[in-house]
């Protein structure tokens, strides 16, 4: 069931991009979001290492927040 839901989202994702929603934060207003301190994860090795320190000592795992991003500002 969960797999089907994810596959449905996957199939629908490109269609959503065609919707006509206007961005309420314009590209020229995203300079603060483009600052490196606003990255969810600046250093891949260090982030993965710390996640692993916890993963291997705790029962919980997954969804540690590195997915996505999306300032769209680069």
**Binding residues vs another protein (CB under 8 A):** 2-3, 6, 9-10, 13-14, 16-17, 19, 21-25, 27, 29-30, 32-33, 35-41, 43-74
Burial environment of residue 55 by CB neighbours within 10 A (0 to 12, 13 to 18, 19 or more): middle
Give the Cα separation of 50 and 28 in Å (integer).
35
- Least distance (Å) between residue 73 CB and another protein: 7
- Least distance (Å) between residue 15 CB and another protein: 9
The first and second tokens of residue 50, run together, are 């710390």
């Amino acid at each position: 069931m969960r797999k089907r839901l994810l596959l449905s989202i996957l199939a629908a994702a490109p269609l959503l991009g065609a919707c006509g929603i206007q961005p309420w934060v314009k590209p020229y207003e995203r300079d603060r979001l483009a600052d490196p301190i606003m990255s969810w994860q600046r250093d891949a090795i260090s982030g993965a290492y710390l996640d692993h320190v916890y993963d291997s000592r705790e029962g919980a795992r997954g969804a540690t927040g590195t997915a996505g991003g999306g300032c769209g500002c680069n």
